[in-house]
Structure 1
């Protein structure tokens, strides 16, 4: 019996061929989809989002409004005017308008003033002179304290309003906010570039549009796997939560991640611009390195306590030599400090200052750059950030206006050195009005060279005419308030040398402004220029009462030994102040009474200070001292014992405790207290002599 022949089976594909076939079909599908979307003109503008940083809420920068004639415009949202200038533009964009968007932080904004003196306004005036064939709109979208990730978010929003050019000045605020980073930060450059490319496609834009149609803002940041960090909708500076830069600590790993984030956001901005088919130009950030010391300096963690003391002494000696204009001595002391800690910001800065005045400008520039780079509270763009900007613009072939190089060359031509300081900057990063004008001219040169603007540079006569018009429109009171606000920030951060000239600028425009005079007087006081400080305080109080100035002036008079005059001001301060400041007023009032031989009033004042601010060591020691002077030894012992218990490492507390025990005839207790003092400060001759007498 014949068997029926079996049908041959279908040839089976290998797993590798199946995978290749599936990938090919998928790729073909998305290619066809991308081509189709392009054919129908679909473009999801500015969909390249930072995978590392999200925002807890979003208030748009621009909102629909109307101008004075009832025409539809987009205007800066009222809730954003704390950070942005009031700007508006027509919607839809008129056909003959060229719309330039200037993005960045407070330099773009025009800080400490506003848009009026900014390079954005200068471009607004210069562009029509250069190219009169178009109507030019220049939108100043600089946000105070905005770092690159927030600048990119603003750029993303404004891409919807048909810009013709982006100009971006960013890099000064990268370390301003506290951020942590998800694991994606450690991804390879290839993976980051790949993600950026994918997010720039029309297919990704279509998917994003569909997703946003079905999900609200909060669902984009849930715990379902979003690796990005959520930040508040507006800037939340670390400095806002502290009494100064001391909240910052040296953290190299965090610095590395911030720099990586900066690189990502530069690339992101380029992709946003290219997705919208808009040219983009970057400006190299630069800052005041010569006349602005580091915001915070601290020794390296690996230094022993003994070496830290040596470092502190060397830095202090260098500062004293700088103040005395003894440049070689200052250099020698700073180099001694740098031998102990080559990353100490203050030592780098002082070495740079000394080298600058010794005429060794290349070495000076290197040291001053190191001071900025090693600042524990880095509020200026570091050389590493500038290098990243240069590398990214070269790689993507994007124009870069080298503000740093051009300004250094200007300084070289004008002053014979490339170190940048207060001749160009009002503080650590903000250019003065003349430097904004220069920057606008250099930007315009770059736009013409890169064929982004047609025409020739304005003549000097045109520039002078524009300058006269801008100067005539300046409100001197508003300018004075801007100077005062800048002086307040610098004074608050302990930068008295930098705050003083800005306070004086404010006083020049507004002579009767008491707060500006107080800042000037207190800066002089902190800098040890006591005679000038007294003159400034006298001028202040001749114009009116200013409660904040009463106690500092009283302290200054106390330090000068003018006890009777000091007493009047400090007594007033004890009435008009509150909290810790009031406790301080009673402390100084007690010391003044003691110096005047008014021990009963001194004891009363110091007890009041201790009541308001308990267990403050200087207060307890002062109170114990007055009680001793009044032969109230048991009361003095009770006070100083509290001081020693609360401050076991205080040499002064144990030394005074021993002396009181001697006065009470308690020699064994005196010896015990003095031995503790001797352990804290070994070899003190007075302690040694007293112990020998007791034995």
Structure 2
């Protein structure tokens, strides 16, 4: 018996010792962590959680508003950047009226102030129309689209609103790109990261990894990307997401008995060209001839001839956005404004890199309200108001500052329409309804009081001027933006790009250096630095910069394409294949990427694959003489001499005197005729 007890004691003793050792290790680590936290706190290391929302508003875990005494106010890290510095009473007055205006940068008031935006004018008008307190609270978020607005609404309904006013539809493609990146992370990892963000040890590690964090842009925190080309199917997916987000927002509001006013959103149709076009046609040569003839006729002010040519080009390639836009210009010149309106609307919808709402979004807004207008859910057709006001019904720069943001006049129109809409619904009850002349005077007063020329305003003017091709004036506007805010990253980047593309390498170098200093991991800045390195034949530096750009954002086409091109320039075509394959996979409609991919396939002896890629490049851009040249070369390598000769002749037609194409034509002609000199 004693032996057995001893045996048991012998077994238990090591277990107890091991347990004590484990507890000692845990206690030591805990003490070390606590001491580290205390030391880092004393050194003033800020928490990641206090510096920003790691989920960028894609999670309901973090509110936009925080309580500061007697008011709720936009939290500091997004105040004045993503949202206006907005506040409202924590305890809503019994007789008070509270409206939240939700949307993207147009609702925010960009490039104006929130006082000049339609929300500020509406606030002033309602205050003069009722004796009780009025709060029209601007919650427009830069780059916010319907998905994040539906999340935001879950917070706002807790603040006892009398109505939610929704003005959204332009950011769906911007938000989709960023949401895809956020959504790729598992929910468990998101929760772990959010927890770590409240520790100073993790925050210190982040600070070491990123010693020079990017300064918040005054314009966008979720950057726009115009590199992706969207197919019709992808656009429908975005539209479905929009409808789903809208339905969720309405359901949230109705669950809390909060009325909702949905606004359709107008865009600049007449004065803003589409960013990108996808060409799908069975007869690219005929299309190219019709398209080129239409442009030539338009330049000669032969509007009827231009119209006929563009109508033929549209028949051959109905999905080509630029053709639709140029047809609109021809119709406008002929004073056929109905034709122009339809063509401009089609051009916006067909834009392969859309930054404006699709017509389908406005249709979804109207459909969401059903058949009738009720105080609980109604639609205000702002687009119809703008169309009725615009000259000949063609919405352009008179009402839209750039591509989507209303001018001051546009904001006045929206405010007046909303005021009358709310008065008609009885939300709120007004003691006196102002007439239009009174509203006009009040709107001008409100906008004059808030008049300012911010860096954002100058930057936006630069974007408009650049889009219109007025590069000198655009550079002046960007310079004015930098006078107001020397670190305005968008103005620095656009200035650097324009100067570089003009060949002013010395001028560009200054701004490229500023980009690198402010945000060394900005993809646009890295690409510009890589371009400079390639110009100087510093291939290793260029590839290092491009690899960093790819690490920062692997969804961008340009760094992949440039990396492949750099490898080819170093006579490394086998290595160039993979980055160029990635570029074409990211953007199947990128003609230059397709061509480069086809060229390296040809140079590595993969002639059939090369033919497919180069033919696709020709279909995407039939006017590119270089693409026809390489199509001739690949056919020549396949011993398809007649087809090679035709491709060389087309290259010469597009670029008379093209020496490489002429040599190819003579070479194939010589072989076809069995040694006889070609004509």
Q: What TM-score bracket applies, with the shorter chain setting the length?
A: 0.5 to 0.7
Deviates more, 1:88-97 or 1:676-685: 676-685
Structure 1 equivalent of residue 92 of structure 2:
93
Q: Please state how far the C-alpha of 1:93 moved relative to its aligned partner.
A: 1.3
- Distance in 2 (CA, whole Å) between partners of 1:117 and 1:461 is 17
Matched, 1:485 2:459: yes
Instruction: Count how many residue pairs are aligned between Structure 1 and Structure 2.
Output: 481
Structure 2 equivalent of residue 356 of structure 1:
332
Query: Structure 1 pair 450/655, CA: closer, same or farther in 2 (3 Å)?
Result: closer
- Distance in 1 (CA, whole Å) between partners of 2:169 and 2:626 is 48
Structure 2 equivalent of residue 430 of structure 1:
405
Structure 1 equivalent of residue 543 of structure 2:
none
Question: Secondary structure of the residue that 1:246 maps to in structure 2?
Answer: coil
Larger Rg: 1
Q: Please state how far the C-alpha of 1:259 moved relative to its aligned partner.
A: 2.5
- Distance in 2 (CA, whole Å) between partners of 1:248 and 1:61 is 33
Q: Contact 2:408/2:447 (CA < 8 Å) preserved in 1?
A: no
- Distance in 1 (CA, whole Å) between partners of 2:317 and 2:600 is 38
Q: Contact 2:113/2:452 (CA < 8 Å) preserved in 1?
A: no
Q: Contact 2:120/2:136 (CA < 8 Å) preserved in 1?
A: yes
Q: Contact 2:327/2:343 (CA < 8 Å) preserved in 1?
A: yes
* Cα deviations by residue, 1:588-641 (Å, 9 ceiling, x for unpaired): xxxxxxxxxxxxxxxxxxxxx99x9464499x9xxxxxxxxxxxxxxxxxxxx9
Question: Secondary structure of the residue that 2:369 maps to in structure 1?
Answer: helix
* Cα deviations by residue, 1:307-329 (Å, 9 ceiling, x for unpaired): 23443443344334434433223
* Cα deviations by residue, 1:266-307 (Å, 9 ceiling, x for unpaired): 33333322222222211111111101111221112xx34xx2
Structure 2 equivalent of residue 271 of structure 1:
251
Aligned equivalent of 1:464, options 438, 441, 445: 441
1:266-415 matches, cutoff 5 A: 266-300=246-280, 303-304=281-282, 307-395=283-371, 397=373, 398-411=377-390, 415=391
Matched, 1:58 2:61: yes
- Distance in 1 (CA, whole Å) between partners of 2:472 and 2:419 is 34
Structure 2 equivalent of residue 681 of structure 1:
648
Relative contact order, higher structure (CA 8 A, sep 6+) = 2
Q: Contact 2:178/2:222 (CA < 8 Å) preserved in 1?
A: no
- TM-score norm. by structure 2 comes to 0.60
Q: Contact 1:483/1:503 (CA < 8 Å) preserved in 2?
A: no
Matched, 1:580 2:530: yes
Query: Structure 1 pair 401/676, CA: closer, same or farther in 2 (3 Å)?
Result: closer
* Cα deviations by residue, 1:32-87 (Å, 9 ceiling, x for unpaired): xxxxxxxxxxxxxxxxxxxxxx9456321101113xxxxx2111012333321110
Question: Secondary structure of the residue that 2:97 maps to in structure 1?
Answer: strand
Query: Structure 1 pair 156/549, CA: closer, same or farther in 2 (3 Å)?
Result: closer
Q: Please state how far the C-alpha of 1:265 moved relative to its aligned partner.
A: 3.0
Question: Secondary structure of the residue that 1:116 maps to in structure 2?
Answer: coil
Q: Contact 1:148/1:174 (CA < 8 Å) preserved in 2?
A: yes
Aligned equivalent of 2:240, options 235, 253, 260: 260
Structure 1 equivalent of residue 549 of structure 2:
none
Q: Please state how far the C-alpha of 1:180 moved relative to its aligned partner.
A: 12
Q: Contact 1:284/1:400 (CA < 8 Å) preserved in 2?
A: yes
- Distance in 1 (CA, whole Å) between partners of 2:362 and 2:567 is 49
- Distance in 2 (CA, whole Å) between partners of 1:406 and 1:104 is 19
Structure 1 equivalent of residue 422 of structure 2:
447
Question: Secondary structure of the residue that 1:254 maps to in structure 2?
Answer: helix
- TM-score norm. by structure 1 comes to 0.59
Query: Structure 1 pair 586/310, CA: closer, same or farther in 2 (3 Å)?
Result: farther
Structure 1 equivalent of residue 467 of structure 2:
495
Structure 1 alignment gaps of length 5 or more: 1-53, 67-71, 183-214, 222-233, 524-545, 556-568, 588-608, 621-640, 657-671
Structure 1 equivalent of residue 226 of structure 2:
245
* Cα deviations by residue, 1:549-600 (Å, 9 ceiling, x for unpaired): 65444x3xxxxxxxxxxxxx6578789977433256559xxxxxxxxxxxxx
- Distance in 2 (CA, whole Å) between partners of 1:176 and 1:358 is 36
* Cα deviations by residue, 1:4-46 (Å, 9 ceiling, x for unpaired): xxxxxxxxxxxxxxxxxxxxxxxxxxxxxxxxxxxxxxxxxxx
Q: Please state how far the C-alpha of 1:678 moved relative to its aligned partner.
A: 4.9
Q: Contact 2:58/2:179 (CA < 8 Å) preserved in 1?
A: no
Q: Contact 1:399/1:446 (CA < 8 Å) preserved in 2?
A: no
Q: Please state how far the C-alpha of 1:366 moved relative to its aligned partner.
A: 1.4
- Distance in 2 (CA, whole Å) between partners of 1:473 and 1:289 is 28
- Distance in 1 (CA, whole Å) between partners of 2:601 and 2:60 is 50
Question: Secondary structure of the residue that 1:278 maps to in structure 2?
Answer: coil
Structure 2 alignment gaps of length 5 or more: 1-56, 181-187, 195-215, 513-527, 538-561, 574-598, 615-624, 631-638, 651-660
Q: Contact 2:278/2:319 (CA < 8 Å) preserved in 1?
A: no
* Cα deviations by residue, 1:139-182 (Å, 9 ceiling, x for unpaired): 10111121112112111101101111211112222233337999
Structure 1 equivalent of residue 110 of structure 2:
111
Question: Secondary structure of the residue that 1:350 maps to in structure 2?
Answer: helix
- Distance in 2 (CA, whole Å) between partners of 1:463 and 1:273 is 32
- Distance in 2 (CA, whole Å) between partners of 1:373 and 1:113 is 27
Question: Secondary structure of the residue that 1:282 maps to in structure 2?
Answer: strand
